[in-house]
Structures are given as C-alpha cells and as structure tokens.
Amino acid sequence: MNAPARPRLSQSGRPPVLTAEAMNERGETVVRGIATERPLTIYLDRREVVTLMTIGQYPEHLVLGYLRNQRLLESLEQVESVQVDWETGAAAVTTRQPAATEDERLSRRTVTSGCGQGTLFGNILEEVASTRLQPPRLRQSDIYRLLRSVARYNEIYRHAGAVHSCALCHGEEIIYSVEDVGRHNAVDTISGMMWMDGVEGADKLFYTTGRLTSEMVIKVVQMKVPVLLSRSGITHAGLEYARRCNVLTIARAKGRHFLVYHGAGNVVLDEPAGESGPD
Amino acid sequence: MNAPARPRLSQSGRPPVLTAEAMNERGETVVRGIATERPLTIYLDRREVVTLMTIGQYPEHLVLGYLRNQRLLESLEQVESVQVDWETGAAAVTTRQPAATEDERLSRRTVTSGCGQGTLFGNILEEVASTRLQPPRLRQSDIYRLLRSVARYNEIYRHAGAVHSCALCHGEEIIYSVEDVGRHNAVDTISGMMWMDGVEGADKLFYTTGRLTSEMVIKVVQMKVPVLLSRSGITHAGLEYARRCNVLTIARAKGRHFLVYHGAGNVVLDEPAGESGPD
C-alpha cells in the first residue's frame, strides 16, 4: 500500500522582522524592529483567489491553511505543490485534479469582515452552524501553566509589536506558535501545519492574543478545536458561535485572571483565588 | 443657485454594547459588556458589494465611507439615499445615476488582507502611490494634549473591549471619535462623516489605537490627512507608504512616549524629556 501522496512545498519563509530608525520623545534616534508585511497572491490552478498581507514566515503553510479553511481544498492529497515566489508575490498551488467544486465556490465568494474586511467562500457558515464540539474538562491550574508557556513565545511581538500570536496547545505543550500581522493568517498557518503533519484538533486548545470575533471562532470550529483561550475580549457574535458550536471559550486570560464565557461547567477551579484582574 | 443635493440617510444606529455573563477565576458569575458585531451587506444600486462585520453604531456613515474609500462612489452628490435595515442585514445605496465606472471597478476586485483579509477595488494603490501630503509642524506639547483628549473617549473599549478606536482631530479638538470591531470600519465611518459634513483632511490629524498596517496608512492617505498617530506599532509596509506619501507618522504614542517613524523634522520638541517608555 502506498503512503498518501504529500504536496511539495517550496521553502520561502522570510525573516519576520526588519529594522527602522525612529525619533523618540527625547529627540534621540533609536533603531526598532518592525514587522514585515508582504503581499502574497494565491493562485489555485492558475486562478487568482486572494491577496493576503502576511509577515511571510511560513507562506506555504499559510496558503494551505487558507485554502483548507475556505474549503477550497478538501484533502491534502489533492495538492501537488505549493510554490511561493516573493519576486512576483505569488503562491502557485497546483492540484492533481481540480475539484469540481472549485469553480462554483470561487464564484460564490461573499466578502465578510473581521478586523479588516475578510472573505469567506461557499457554505462555510452553514457547515459551522451544524458543528457541535465536545470540550474536555480543563483545570484552572492547566490554564495558568499554559499562559506561562505561551508567554515564553511571542518573539516577534516582543521585538517589533504590530503582530498577533496564535498557538495550538496540547495540555501545556505548545505544538505550534505562529505570529502574523493578520490574526486570521496566524490561524490559517496553524491549520496548514496541522494538515501537513496530520494533527487533529479534537484534543487540543487554541490560544490567541487577538480578539474573539465571529471569524476567529468560526476558524477554530472549522479546525475542530474545542477550547479557545484569548488574552483579549470577545464580541457578541463571537460568543453566539461559541455557544452554538459548544466551544469552551475563555477570554481576558492574562496573569491569573480569566473570564469563561461559555462552558464554565467544564472548568475545574483547583487553585486558591488570586487577585482579580481589572475586568 | 441650488444647494448640492444631499443623500437621505436612515438612522439605524444600534447600541454598541450588550452584556453577557461569564465566570471569573474565583468561580464568581460576573456580567460584562461585550461589543456587538453585526453583518451588514452593502448593495450599491442592487448590486452586492461586500458584507462588513460592524458594531453598527453609525452604519450609514460606514457605508458611505466604505464606498468612498473604495472609490466606488466619486461624489456625495451621486448618492440618493442610504437605507440600513437590520432585519435583513442590508444597506441599500441608491445613486441618482449609476457611475459608468461602477461595473468595471466591481469586476476588478482584488482581495487584500490587513488584519483580516480585506478587499480593495480598482486602482487605489496607484492613486495612493502618487499622492504626496504636506504635514504641518507639530509640537510635542500638542501631541501630549491630544493623547489626553483621546483618552477621555474610547467608551466602548472601556466597557467591553474588543474594539479599535479612531479619531479625527484638529489641534487638540476631537471632531469625530468612532469605535468598531474592525479598525477599517472605524476609519471608513469617519471618512463617511467627513463627506457628509464637508470636512477636509488637509489640516487634520488622525489618531488610532490600532496598528499601522499598509491598509491603515492607505486609507488615511486617501482621506488626505497628513498626520497619523497610533498607540500601537507600525509594519514595514505601512512605513513604506508613510514615506512615499509623506505622512508624519508617530507610533507607540502612549503617556509621554512616542516614536516618530517618518517626518521627525516636523516635530518640535518643546517639553522636558520625561521617562522614556519601554520601547
């Protein structure tokens, strides 16, 4: 029996931080790291799909994850190769046999908006609305251990700011940690990595520094990850999706503070109450 | 002589904050404000343009500003009415005579990405690249006064978080202050307000809590505002647009700290040096 065919990926990751001079409030010239932001246009079998602005660290995985989360690709076996060329800002995705659904989905593009003004293809909302996840029990002490772990990542943020960080975690172990100028790009990149590595979402936890808007919750549901932890807040629509799909959803998680917005019954409080945070 | 015709706008603004219960780390049930996030689909003369996820506080101005910044509308006089109906999530924009360019521009949509995955229509990048603004001299004491002024706004952020705030300022006066779940929506809403009120950008300053990605700088350049001040950082592509279009660009502005990334020669340091911030 043959192993399933795996796509060939170029290795075109670029350094995520450049430097620039700035003048501070004392009149001193200082050199600061700033995040890169490169346009990358995805072509699926020569058809232009989208141009993403990305930090460009893991472009091939971003492209795979984007097409996976947009349901423009159904299986990894479909994909022959992903070739990223920064000279032209193009990511060429070649499939073994173009899916029949591809044309139809591309033509049914509806443009939605998260932080920027995003795009969802096809019937993703219907698919997500019928998904119901099974979150595990989660101990408060596990949450605190995980928050300490993720704080050790976020390299680009510390050097340059202007990025969001996402991580896929198993217990307190961080499997992937990705930063990007776009929150959605960071999620999509992790989705691409999971696909390439055959990693499932059902026993994992997703951490993000970014806000839990509806699009963020939808993407995590698509990846079947049943626990979502954010340093930031949640929107009302994000909470509606979390409830409908039964995602254990914790926002404002920082230091010892957190707020469980959905699934409080799954959280075991096993630590002495600390100082509460500001909200 | 007749006054120029002005569009009729519905008044469908909605409360930006709802409440939800959450469990905190002490096991207490607390009630917190959370920002709303509503889908709003724009129809320009019955053609679907885009679906934005917005807090919904000033939907008519958001729609006008979006269409203005996308160059899908060239003058306010073209617009007969903007009618927002939340039952259907639709914003119907009716023009007096559909512009000849409308079909062409809509068909040349390229989808780009800022924080989410955004959309720019037509030749906006070429237009912006040829714009060169004339920033005024700006005193450090003016910057500090302005930062104190904007801190008094940001109501939704204080109550619910998960939003970005933008403001159009003249000296230390805040003309408009808008918060939204999407940074771009807040900018577009201010652009719509400027249009309706006949306010020009050339002698103004634009403040945002959000990051200065390329799309953010592009939108401010489109509005001809020559000074851009952000509490957050800047990306490399954002800085390239700021340099090319000569926008006085100040990032990391918080308390007494700031970093001038472009246009340092226009900033007059007239305050004693304080404690420098962390970066």
**Within this chain, do residues B108 and B169 fall inside the same structural domain, yes or no?**
no
Residues A145, A262, single domain; the answer is yes
Residue finishing a domain among B77, B92, B126: B126
Q: Which residues in A lie closer than 8 A to residue B52 (C-beta atoms)?
A: 112-113, 117
In a domain, A204, yes or no: yes
Contacts with A263 (C-beta within 8 Å, 6 or more apart), sequence order: A135, A246, A247, A248, A249
| pLDDT tens digits along B175-214 | 999 999 877 899 999 999 999 999 999 999 999 998 898 8
Q: Is A156 exposed, middle or buried (0-12, 13-18, 19+ CB in 10 A)?
A: buried
d(CA B18, CA B40): 18
**Residues B162 and B60 placed together within one structural domain of the fold:** no
For residues A150 and A264, state if they share a domain. yes
Provide the chain A residues 232-251 that lie in CB contact (below 8 A) with chain B: 232-239, 251
Determine the length of chain B.
Answer: 279
Do B164 and B70 fall into the same domain?
A: no
Is B16 contained in some domain?
yes
- Look at residues A129, A160, A187 and tell me which one is the last residue of a structural domain: A129
Distance (Å, rounded) from C-alpha A150 to C-alpha B212?
Answer: 25
CATH number at residue A242: 3.40.140.10
- CATH number for the domain spanning B105: value is 3.10.20.10
**How much is the pLDDT for B87?**
94
| A50 within some domain | yes
* Residue B67 near residue B73 (C-beta atoms within 8 A): yes
The ipTM is 0.82
In this prediction, what percent of chain A has a pLDDT beyond 90?
Answer: 61
| Residue A208 structure tokens | 């993000």
Q: At residue B112, does pLDDT exceed 50?
A: no
Domain match, A94 and A174 both: no
Among B30, B239, B273, select the one facing A34 at the smallest CB separation: B239
Reported as a pLDDT band with limits 50, 70 and 90, residue A21 is very high
Which residues span the domain enclosing A258? Answer: 138-268
What pLDDT is attached to residue A111?
43
Closest partner CB to A110 (pick from B27, B36, B51)? B51
For residue B271, the chain A residues in CB contact (below 8 A) are 25
Residues of chain A by 3-state class (helix, strand, coil), percent to 5? 30, 35, 35
Count of structural domains, chain A: 2
A1 in a structural domain: no
Q: Are residues B105 and B212 in the same domain?
A: no
Residue corresponding to tokens 């909470």: A239
Average pLDDT over residues A96-106: 64
Residues A199 and A257 occupy one common structural domain: yes
**Smallest Cβ distance to B117: which of A48, A50, A256?**
A50
Of A232 and A154, the one with more pLDDT: A232
pTM: 0.84
> Is B275 domain-assigned?
no
With CA atoms as reference, the chain B residue closest to A256 would be B25
Pick the more confident residue, A98 or B210.
B210
Are B261 and B144 part of one and the same domain? yes
Residue A3 lies inside a defined structural domain of this protein: no
Where residue B111 falls among pLDDT bands split at 50, 70, 90? Answer: very low
A to B CB pairs, distance under 8 Å = 245
Among residues A98, A129, A160, the one where a domain terminates is A129
For residue A30, the chain B residues in CB contact (below 8 A) are 259
